[in-house]
Structure 1
Amino acid sequence: MTEQSCECCGTVERQSAEGSRADEPSGDRWLGGASVMETPLPDDVRTAMAEFFGDASIATLEDWVAELRERTGGGSIDADDLCHADGETAHWGDLDGTRYHFRCFYDAVALAELASEPIEIRTESPSGEVVEARATGDGGLTASPSTAAVSFGIATDASTASEKPTLEDAYAAICPTVRAFPTRDAYEQWATETNAATIGMPLSAATGVATGLVDD
């Protein structure tokens, strides 16, 4: 295997050809409906997320967000909890004329929800394609290209969290799998090659996780 670098909090490994999931039905990993937070997750994603906590019951992204909040204190995240970068990265958001660089592009989506203001976002896919978005701060998001997709998931070799995991524990397990892609096909190709349990969805539908993390 070769490692694929991630500017977030760790790495995800590319699988060898022998270990790829290319024979899996692609639709099993795509959440394309209106209620992506309530859509049942694939078995491997549910298992990996449950094992991270050790004793959780995870069926949907809504369950995952609720469990994460409860285990890390129960409150909303705030701007200081985001993965800010010390220098320039490929993942940034512009808010009121100020550019914030992050280790994971999804932090810019969360910042828009925290600020309740629009943010212009730029990121790069694992293959280097530029993906841009505008998060409105009230749950809306438009992407360029309009076909853009996003992945969520957890590294399959993530260490089981302690009884009281920190946000840093969660970032280390999750952030390497949260990536943007120019198309659904690009996500699905990456998913078959990557040693992580993931789902994909249209980038325009991706604000639900951020809203769940910041909602009081």
Structure 2
Amino acid sequence: MTEQTCECCEPLERQSAVSESESDRESATTAVEDGPSVDRWLGETAVMETPLPEDVQTAMERFFGDVSITTLAEWVTELRDRIGGGSIEIDDLCHADEETGHWGELDGTRYDFQCFYDAVALAELSSKSVEVRTESPDGTVIEARATGDGDVTATPTTAVVSFGVATDGSAAMNGGPTLEDAYTSICPVVTAFPTRSAYEQWAAQTPVATVGLPISAATGVATGLVDE
């Protein structure tokens, strides 16, 4: 398996190409700070079909430019259609050319990635168990085991993951979006946390609208992208 380095997935704080306008930032931040008025937790079940907060829907629609998105299931379906309609391959994952805090071990081989989700996708693509290690923004180590058949167990068991799209809409205007555009927009905000409260504290300080879900329920997006 040939690894290809993805150089597009810089951390959120260093990424300027996909930053939102000032008004969009204020809107997203206000929505988060409003607390109960915006439910950013997708829960334990049916996460792919649960309606997303309006600001997350808006960001996803801006990424595509010409479509309505309500749920993660619709996001995955649209993304697959835009990048060719078929499953992605292991070579298509967002590999790193050096060791990172986000990696998966498959059959004794370590694969370093730019974000947590690729290690889960690696398990789904190979249909084998992958030992996953990732780090939250504060450096907390989170370990997980992705079975390759839709299940993920994590340590600590309270671990959660964020999902969102950081975009300024340029990909849609430039003939895209491409798979690389997706990595550029998604990787910076797909982050694991030891607890739901840790995610919520991060989300309140992050100028990109996101949702949170348990790691155990987080395989839906990966499965949707890799299933034939």
Same fold (TM over 0.5): yes
- 1:70 is matched with which residue? 81
Structure 1 residues 27 and 75: alpha-carbon distance in aligned structure 2, compared to 1, 3 A threshold:
same
Task: Supply the distance in 2 between the matched residues of 1:132 and 1:28 (Cα, whole angstroms).
Answer: 27
Task: Supply the distance in 2 between the matched residues of 1:206 and 1:121 (Cα, whole angstroms).
Answer: 13
Deviation at 1:165, TM superposition (A): 1.8
Question: Which residue among 186, 196, 206 is the counterpart of 1:184?
Answer: 196
- 2:183 is matched with which residue? 171
Task: Supply the distance in 2 between the matched residues of 1:46 and 1:33 (Cα, whole angstroms).
Answer: 20
The amino acid of 1:202's aligned partner reads P
Structure-to-structure mapping, 1:47-196, within 5 angstroms: 47-155=58-166, 157=168, 159-161=170-172, 162-196=174-208
Gaps of 5+ in 1: 1-6
Q: Which runs of 4+ in 1 moved over 6 A?
A: none
TM-score, normalization by structure 2: 0.86
Deviation at 1:34, TM superposition (A): 1.0
- Encode CA deviations 1:164-202: one digit per residue, 9 max, x unaligned: 421001111111010000000000111110011110000
Moved more, 131-140 or 163-172: 163-172
Q: Secondary structure at the match of 2:211?
A: strand
- Encode CA deviations 1:19-71: one digit per residue, 9 max, x unaligned: 56323228600011311000000000001100111111100000000000101
Q: Secondary structure at the match of 1:38?
A: coil
TM-score, normalization by structure 1: 0.90
Count of residues in correspondence between the two structures: 208
* 8 A Cα contact 1:156 1:197, kept in partner: no
- 1:4 is matched with which residue? none
Gaps of 5+ in 2: 1-6, 15-24
The amino acid of 1:170's aligned partner reads A
Task: Supply the distance in 1 between the matched residues of 2:171 and 2:179 (Cα, whole angstroms).
Answer: 13
Task: Supply the distance in 1 between the matched residues of 2:38 and 2:177 (Cα, whole angstroms).
Answer: 32
- 1:10 is matched with which residue? 10
The amino acid of 1:152's aligned partner reads F
- The root-mean-square deviation of aligned C-alpha atoms, in Å, is 2.0
Q: Which has a greater percent of strand?
A: 1
Task: Supply the distance in 2 between the matched residues of 1:50 and 1:35 (Cα, whole angstroms).
Answer: 21
- 1:3 is matched with which residue? none
Question: Which residue among 217, 220, 223 is the counterpart of 1:205?
Answer: 217
